[in-house]
Structure 1
Amino acid sequence: MAGGRNTKTSFTAGELGDELLGRPDMRAYENGARRLRNVFIQPTGGVTRRPGLRHVAMLPGKARLIAFEFNTEQTYLLVLTHLRLQVFMDDAPVAEIAAPWTEAMLDQIAHTQSADTLLLAHPEMMPQRLTRGSHTAWSLAAWDWVAQPYFRYAPPGLTLAPSGTGGTVTLTASAAFFQAGHVGTRLRIGGRRIVVTAIASPGVATAVVEETLAGAAPTDDWDEAAFSGVHGWPVTLCFHQDRLVIGGSRDLPNRLWLSRSGDLFNFDLGTGLDDQAIEFALLSDQVNAIRAVFSGRHLQVFTSGAEWMVTGDPMTPASIQLHRQTRIGSPIARIIPPVDVDGSTIFIGRSGQAVHEYAYTDVQQAYQANDLALVARHLVREPVSMVYDQTRRLLHVAMAEGWLATLTLYRTELVTAWTRQETAGAFRALAEIDGTVWCAVERDGRIRLERFDPAMAVDSGLTGASATPRRIWSGLAHLEGRKVQVVADGTPLGGATVGGGAVTVEPETQALQVGLGFAHVIEPLPPQLSGAAGARSVPLRLISATFRLLGTAALSVDLGSGARPVPFRRLDTPMLDAAPPPFTGDVTLRGLGWQRDALRPLWRIEGETPLPLTLLSVTTETRMTD
């Protein structure tokens, strides 16, 4: 009979997929777990029950969340919904204005910010400019172009003949060309601008001359605005080296436009001087519809089929160079902006099952795209939103099916650890502001605005305080009819049902926290069996398990008994008249019985008590026999 003692001091590989159950030789196996639900991995290796979600507001429907940072002291959350924009500061709405986007457009809206102005783009919407005047004064309007970019969409040989050289003229095309969307679109004839004001037929239109034309004869020396109601509007955008960069449009999906340096809405190519605008297409042996442009060490371009690097320091019409780096591709169904993590760019792969780290290597002088979800593929499935919490080093990725995959990423300490967050509903959109992660959560068919709150132990929760003890607490209409968890003065009181927007608690209390409960799970990988018996199924007995805890107020553990799990045993059971004190130290539990199932965990932590839990390490003592 062989005995063994094993100490698991780290969970820095996170939750691993079942495909790795046969790879105990990997370092990830030693530091990983089979299930990590509703917990965060600390950069130091411990596991902590995640904070709850504070309820902020009910939203009218599907939403897109955008962070707006005016300065270090004034930050706002922008909530985009059907035909409107709401502005929140802290937990309160401060402004609401009409908007041109619909609910169906939210997934494809791209944005970038400079000082007090946020630019928004969508291939079916004239690009918008959101400006902050004060906390409560916000304005949204179409861009005011200084000089638009132009492109020749018409086939070669198609001519235009103006009826005159100034004022209002009639344009006659040599073939069908004009569409209703051309109204308001600028054309250039011989490099001189005119604006279409009316369409008489596919071959005839009326226009106003802005720059006197050179002549009235038919000519094929003409082009039209690259962006219009006919050919679509910009897809994505960013700022880089004091230029506004536009990546793709509906009808020109693989084209890049860079404004003049310091003149963000001026795309006049001029004569190619260093500070003038730049325009070029991404041409290769594959489709390259641009899905994101990102300003990092270089201008990074993410397309539907590959990732590109645009160089030039400074970037000028003469110095600019384009290099394809990797062939991963980005999603085409929605815009998921890449995020910066310690100088690397994190982006979602087109497959919908990968999260890549796009990092520049000085040795190869090129970018590489490592898959961060390689060992946790089951947690990444059709991402719909992504944010990075720099304060806690947590990357949150919301999935189409509603869960949140959370990655603790700390390269200097070799920490790449995934966990899964679940709630009584579905995470639909995310935003991060100053270490606070905001969520649009769908519950019971309604969308709610919530945020992670370290002081909250329940989801969709609210807190209340009273100078005198109270038994009835109201203001809970958003949880009407739901069974909720109640925490009074720091002590869990169990479940209650919300009726009439209120709950009744016993005994009376002066401070209350009410919301939806959630369960945490920490389950290790199967034990590594070695020796003469190898990895085959052999009788195995857990003698004891010692859990090292930090600031933990409640713990439920299943050690199993033979082929059947024993009931969970809760330590430090809270008293009804006082909040349980947090416990720091070791707790040793004795195991009973033998087991032959090699895939069965030796222990499992699972509980929904709304109290803090932090697990630092686990030491197990086992016996094995042939």
Structure 2
Amino acid sequence: MEPNVYYAIQPAFTGGEVSQDVASRVDLDKYQLSLLQAENAIIRPYGAVRKRPGSIYCGTTKNNGYAILQRFEFSSELDYMLEFGAGYLRIWRDGQYIGVDLQTPYQIDDLEKLRFVQSVDVMYICSGKYPVKKLSRYAEQNWTFTDIDWTRAAYGDINMNENLTITPSATTGTITLIASDDVFTDNNIGDSIKIEQYVAGKSVAINASQTTTSTSIQVGKTWKVISHGTWTGTLEVQVSYDGGSTWKMLRSYTSNGDYNPTESGDVEDYADMRLSVTITSGTIKADLSAYPYNHTGYADITAVSGAREATANVSKMLGDTSATSNWYLSAWSAANGYPNTVTFFQDRLVFGGSRKYPQRVWMSKTGDYENFEVVKESGSITDDSAVTIDLLSQKACTINHLDVGNDLIVMTEGNLWTIAGSETVTPTNITPRQQENYGTNNVIPVRVGSRVVYVQRRGSIIRDTGYHYDTDSYVGQDLTILAKHLIKGRTIKDAAYAQEPDSMIYFVTSDGQLICLTYVPEQKVYGWSHFVTDGEYTDVCAIASGNNDVIYAVVKRTIDGSTKYYIEQFDKDKSESVSQQDYCMMDAATIINGNTALSTVTGLSYLEGKEVFVIGDGYLFDTLTVQNGALTLPQAAKRIVIGLPYTEILEQPNWDAGNTPSGTVQGRKKQVTTAILRLSNSFGGKIGRDANHLNEIIYDSSRLELGEDVLCSGDIKASLGRGGFDANGRTFIVHDTPYPFSVSAIIREVTFGG
């Protein structure tokens, strides 16, 4: 009896790489579109799977040490890349270090905790450990990295001990602060203190028959002037907003023996006021009164003499020299910690979490990003004042991240909150809402359209979340549920999103792999693959370049017995080219485009002792070894690509035909003897039923021998050989040559029997 032959097509690979545990889940819709292995491969959102591009060597990190990369988006046409390492920041553009090297306080352990937000040419950087920094670009070679000179910083909670008072020695200038109990430590040096005092009403009188000026009184809000007598001349009410250095006329009254003013008003800010009269006849009696008020003043602590005494410079006049228990210290300080994370929301600069206030969110004044002052008018807080709110839950969960779409999303180590963007946030109108309870780790979430992809707290689950209209809440899913093998025994250390060309998110694992998710949620495309290299990926970053996003990585490699940290750029998508010489399918590669043919290539010390691939003018030479930083080519070439080899592996899951008249085909003996590969601009590779039984995929080899373009598009029939029957019916592809390889479909010829 002749065996039955069945032809089965896998028309797409958008299911991506799935675990062996899912190898029998023929009930899943994604099963027919999945792969059991997709190593060094990219899942394209429209269905194909292609060999990943190689990486081009850009340079070594400073001091050859661990570093992270961060995007600085100056404009839609111009992106920079920031390299943060131990105590430094270097700036790159288009894969080239531009020569700018700035000193920072960050050490290796701080780098994973850095958070960034940018407004045009200014980037704010949080660490939780150091004061918020500001990176500013003024020109290509003119950058600064500074502390922020706050117009008014945020303050912590009010002192709750009514018996613990602070007494200032003066209201302006350099003063001494005396505490009634232990308050100050050396960590308070550099802090700001906010002091609230009740100031009683005051008045000053003048009784004059000649030109004279009264002493001044301090006015916090409302003042009143009244005069008596018969006099001829002018009475002025004068005001000073700089401690009496300069005076301006606020009101002027003229009398010719027939008028005495009575008037009240408000000052714009705390001020000194006085009376000034010019008399030509008669006598005037005048009183200027300041109404009682609550005064708020500020001072910056410059030295600490002991636990109960500190020196400070007054930055905004104090009310008087009386003791008060109503005082606040800086929310952000060496003693309290500094903000963990930062973003912009409704034209406010927003910070989240600190060591002392792990659940607190601070928002600046509207449009005034470096001002966290609360302003009152007529006894009410103004809508544009700074906002402070605590996200209260049963457990104090530290805020790790802030993200903004339509709403402000606050991600803590234990839950997720939102602050609605449908209403304008003010100090009296802000309503946080708790959403999910999964928590996040230190990896910065990535936003893809209206959804946010983040790493769960313990670092081994990747989830997404977004607003769901039906439930009026944020909901998401575990994106790794079918690919647990990619994260088993690993944690995620970093992430980057490249929108173009394939909408992919790249995750760095703790053991140096890149696991990649092709993510198009509106089309229900969630396709995993993974990258490996001769070394370890330690960080990743996406930078805009033309119409594409280019991926850069920090790669830890062992070269000539020593550990090196290289910055490498994955080659841009060139899948439309029909010429093999246009591609870079090697790692840590050097590309030479010369006007004259070279037979010796130097400058390769970064690959010393490594066995490398070399393509010269489209022809693949036998592997060569770099010695003394150089290679001698078998023949001279103008277009030369040199780099480390890597291998693509594709494995299809068990073949399934659904429910046949005789039932399922699972568990029945079968053999895949032939596969038709639907290729696009591809060359090379081997195919078989497993890694131990592989045959070369046959192309037109004469074109390669002639140095012609060899890339093939269309259907290629490949023999898997007759290696026996098994219960799987899998197809295994290995591609280990430096050529592109893109498959849009595989048709298997399956024989039953055995």
TM-score of the superposed pair, with normalisation by structure 1: 0.95
The percent of aligned pairs where both chains have the same amino acid is 26
Q: Residues 159 and 274 (structure 1 numbering): CA distance in 2 closer, same or farther, change over 3 Å?
A: same
Asked if structure 2 preserves the Cα contact closer than 8 Å seen for 1:542 and 1:594, the reply is: no
Q: Distance in 1 between matches of 2:472 and 2:622?
A: 59
Name the structure 2 match of 1:518. Answer: 646
Structure 2 Cα separation of the partners of residues 179 and 225 of structure 1: 13
* Secondary structure, aligned partner of 2:457: coil
Which stretch of the first structure deviates more once superposed, 79-88 or 160-169? Answer: 160-169
Displacement of 1:577: 4.6
Say if 2:565 is the partner of 1:447.
Answer: yes
**Residue 295 of structure 1, CA deviation:** 1.1
The partner residue of 2:527 within 411, 417, 442 is 417
Letter in 1 for 2:167: A
Structure 2 residue aligned with 1:36: 38
Asked if 1:545 is matched to 2:655, the reply is no
Correspondence for 1:274 among 383, 389, 393: 383
Q: Secondary structure at the residue paired with 2:368?
A: coil
Please state whether the residue corresponding to 2:649 is helix, strand or coil: strand
1:320-340 C-alpha deviation (Å, 9 max, x unpaired): 211011111001xx3x22222
1:173 aligns with 2:301: no
Aligned residue type for 1:545: A
For residues 554-599 of structure 1, what are the alpha-carbon distances to aligned partners after superposition, in whole Å with 9 as ceiling and x for unaligned?
Answer: 2321246xx9614545544473451442111111234443645434
Say if 1:132 and 1:580 are closer, same or farther in 2 by CA, change over 3 A: same
Measured against aligned partners, the alpha-carbon deviations of 1:209-261 in whole angstroms (never above 9, x if no partner) come to: 33333343432111111111211111100011111010111221110001111
**Matched position secondary structure for 2:353:** strand
TM-aligned CA deviation for residue 528 of structure 1: 2.4
2:316 alignment partner AA: E
In the other structure, the counterpart of 2:71 is 67
Report if aligned partners of 1:554, 1:572 keep a CA contact under 8 Å in 2.
no
Report the equivalent of 2:493: 384
Cα distance in 2 between the residues matched to 1:78 and 1:263: 26
Measure how far apart 1:154 and its partner are.
5.3
Residue of structure 2 in register with 1:230 after alignment: 335
Question: What amino acid maps onto 1:282 in structure 2?
Answer: L
Question: 2:48 aligns to what?
Answer: 46
Is the contact made by 1:187 and 1:195 (CA closer than 8 Å) also made in structure 2?
Answer: yes
Write out per-residue CA displacement over residues 494-531 of structure 1, whole angstroms, 9 at most, x where no aligned residue: 31111111111102212210011100011101222765
Q: Are the equivalent residues in 2 in contact too, given 1:556–1:571 (CA < 8 A)?
A: no
Aligned with 2:307 (options 202, 206, 220): 202
Quote the offset at 1:414 in angstroms: 2.5
Give the match for residue 416 of structure 2.
Answer: 307
Give yes or no for contact 2:124–2:133 (8 Å, CA) kept in 1. Answer: yes
Q: CA distance change for structure 1 residues 176 and 577 in 2, over 3 Å: closer, same or farther? A: farther
Cross-structure match for 1:10: 12
Partner Cα distance (2:87, 2:719) in 1: 61
CA contact (8 A) 2:698 2:718 kept: no
SS at match of 2:30: helix
Task: Tell me what 1:373 maps to.
Answer: 480
**Are positions 1:100 and 2:99 aligned together?**
no
Amino acid at match of 1:438: Y
Q: Which residue identity is paired with 1:449?
A: I
Does the Cα contact within 8 Å between 2:110 and 2:127 map onto a contact in 1?
yes
Q: 2-side partners of 1:625 and 1:489: how far apart? A: 49
Distance 1:442 1:592, change over 3 A: closer
Letter in 2 for 1:289: T
Partner of 1:396: 506
Q: Does the 8 A contact of 2:671 with 2:726 survive in 1?
A: no
2:346 maps to a residue whose letter is Q
TM superposition shift of 1:620? 1.1
Secondary structure, aligned partner of 1:249? coil
Given candidates 476, 479, 504, the residue that maps to 2:604 is: 476
Distance verdict in 2 for CA 1:412–1:208, change over 3 Å:
closer
Unaligned runs of 5+ in 1: none
- Aligned match of 1:493: 621
In the alignment, the residues of structure 2 paired with residue 406 and residue 466 of structure 1 have an alpha-carbon distance, to the nearest angstrom, of 35
TM-fit CA distance, 1:480? 1.1
Residue 41 of structure 1, CA deviation: 0.9
After superposition, the Cα gap between the structure-2 partners of 1:294 and 1:227, relative to the gap in structure 1 and judged at 3 Å, is same
- Give, in whole Å, the separation in 1 of the partners of 2:4 and 2:375: 81
| Aligned residue pairs, count | 620
**CA displacement 1:362-398 (0-9 Å, x = unmatched):** 2222111222222112223311111111112111111
Structure 1 partner of 2:468 = 361
Please list every run of 5 or more consecutive structure 2 residues that lacks an aligned counterpart in the other structure. Answer: 197-295, 573-582
User: Which has more radius of gyration?
Assistant: 2
- Could you tell me how far 1:85 is from its partner in structure 2? 1.2
Q: 2:692 and 2:492 mapped to 1: Cα distance? A: 37
Hey, what's the Cα distance between the residues in 1 that align with 2:80 and 2:316? 43
Structure 2 counterpart of 1:90, one-letter code: D
CA separation of 1:564 and 1:76: change in aligned 2, threshold 3 A? closer
TM-aligned CA deviation for residue 206 of structure 1: 2.0
Question: Which of 541, 547, 555 is the aligned partner of 2:685?
Answer: 555
Match of 2:27 among 9, 25, 28: 25
Shift of 1:116: 0.8
| Distance in 2 of aligned mates of 1:576 and 1:175 | 89
Three-state SS of the structure 1 residue aligned to 2:623 is strand
Q: Which amino acid aligns with 2:685?
A: L
Residue matched to 2:516:
406
Distance 1:77-1:536 versus aligned 2 partners, 3 A rule:
closer
Aligned to 2:435, the other structure's residue is in SS state: strand
Q: Tell whether 2:245 aligns with 1:127.
A: no
